[in-house]
Amino acid sequence: MCITPSLSVIVLTIGSQGSTVRQLQRNLNARFQDFGLMASMSLTVDGVFGPKTLMAVKYLQCVGGFPVSGRVDEATWQFGADGVLGLPELSIGTRRTSVAAVQRSVLAAGIPITVDGYFGVKTSKAIAAYQQRLGLELTGTVDAATWEMVVRSRLTTLPCAALLPRRARR
C-alpha cells in the first residue's frame, strides 16, 4: 500500500504541481505496470500534472468505472494507489457509475443484464453468473477478485481503449 495523503480537501487537476502529483505519477505507473502497459503509458515522475498525466488519470478512471473527469478525487486516488483493492465493494442497494461500468462488462461477457447503474437482485444474479464463468467464488457482489476481472476486461474495450494513445491500443 502506498502512502495516501489526505485528499478529502485536495483535488488534483491539470496544472497541479508538487510531491502529491509525483506520488500520483508513481501510482499511475504502478497501475500501468499491473495492466501490462508500461512500455506505452509510463509517465515521467516530475511532479507536474500536465497533458500526459491527465490522459493517464482519465484512462484509470475509465477502467475503474469512475466518471472520466480527469480530476483526482479521493476515490480515484485510492484506485491509483491500491489498484483493485482501492475500489469499493458493490452489493445490493448500491447506485453509482461504477455499477453501470460493471454491468457493461458483464453484458459484454454475454450475460444478460440491464445497464442502469443500480445494483439490485437481478444484477447480483448476473454477477454470480459472471463469477461462475470466470471460476471465481460465487458471492453475487463485486469484490476485489471480481473487480480484477472487470478492470482487465475494460483495459482494451470501448470506451476506455479510446483514451489510450495509438501506440498503446492492442
Domain boundaries, the chain: 19-87+160-168, 97-142
Q: What is the pLDDT of residue 156?
A: 79
Tens-digit pLDDT profile for residues 126-166: 999 999 999 999 999 999 999 999 999 988 787 888 888 77
6: amino acid identity, one letter: S
Q: What is the pLDDT of residue 142?
A: 98
Whole-angstrom distance, CA of residue 3 vs CA of residue 147: 22
Average pLDDT of span 46-66: 95
The string of DSSP codes covering 25-78 is HHHHHHHHHHHT-HHHH----SSB--HHHHHHHHHHHHHTT----S-B-HHHHH
Q: What is the pLDDT of residue 1?
A: 46
Tens-digit pLDDT profile for residues 12-51: 999 999 999 999 999 999 999 999 888 888 999 999 999 9
Mean of per-residue pLDDT scores for the chain: 91
Average pLDDT of span 72-99: 95
Tell me the CA distances in angstroms from 65 to 88, 90, 114, one per residue in order.
11, 12, 16
